Structure 1
Amino acid sequence: MIGNLLKGLFGGENKAEKPAKTSSHPAVSYESFDIIPEPQQVSGQWQLRGRIEKDIDGERKSHLFIRADTLPTEEEAVNHMVRKAKMMIDQQGNRVFD
């Protein structure tokens, strides 16, 4: 345990975390935004991660969405991420890119 902590502090490899993969989950269209789920496996759980994107004035805007929430399955993380992203869009609209 202490060895893992020291490796994490000093840049050693942490096998508990896998790098984010390219999303294999389809984008969800919502209110002219695209929600792209990209869950990340961390310590045997799935962390909420993905992007919210939209074309504005001919330019593709993107907001990386990462939450501390973890769930036991990848599918649960995808569903929860989409739900939270929809709430963020409803609350902030285009300001999500500010």
Structure 2
Amino acid sequence: MLGGLLKRLLGSSEPKAPKEETVIAYKEFEIIPSPRNVNGQWQIAGRIEKEGPDGVRLVHQFIRADTLPSEKDAIENMVRKAKLVIDQQGSSLFN
């Protein structure tokens, strides 16, 4: 018990494997949430991607000032906001 508490407080010496990216298909776009932990809160962040002309991958970085208490909430809000941006701007998002 005390060992577990010390590990949480001091951090584990074992390297953490990178998280697998979640990709949400929406219309002809892909939404990839990647929330950031900022001072114990989760900032809404991620990417909106699309296959462009000549096979060029188009990428729009998506970062908002909003912070939420859980990573799950930040992911859900990022996906919701990304869908709104896609609906409002479509492919002009990459111009």
Which interval holds the TM-score relative to the shorter structure? 0.7 to 0.9
Shift of 1:25: 3.9
Output the amino acid matched with 2:44: L
Q: Gaps (5+ residues) in structure 2?
A: 1-17
Closer/same/farther in 2, CA of residues 27 and 70 from structure 1, 3 Å limit: same
Q: Distance in 2 between matches of 1:87 and 1:23?
A: 26
Give the structure with higher Rg (CA).
Answer: 2
* TM-score of the two chains, using structure 1 as the length reference: 0.75
Q: Gaps (5+ residues) in structure 1?
A: 1-21
Q: Distance in 2 between matches of 1:65 and 1:56?
A: 18
* TM-score of the two chains, using structure 2 as the length reference: 0.77
Q: How many corresponding residue pairs?
A: 77
Q: Distance in 1 between matches of 2:42 and 2:20?
A: 14
Contact 1:49 1:67 (C-alpha < 8 Å) held by counterparts: yes
Output the amino acid matched with 2:87: D
- After superposition, the CA RMSD in angstroms is 1.1
1:82 aligns with 2:79: yes
Q: Distance in 2 between matches of 1:76 and 1:61?
A: 26
Deviations, residues 25-60 of structure 1 (Å, cap 9, x unaligned):
410000110000000000110000000000011110
Shift of 1:23: 5.3
Higher helix share: 2
Q: Distance in 1 between matches of 2:41 and 2:22?
A: 21
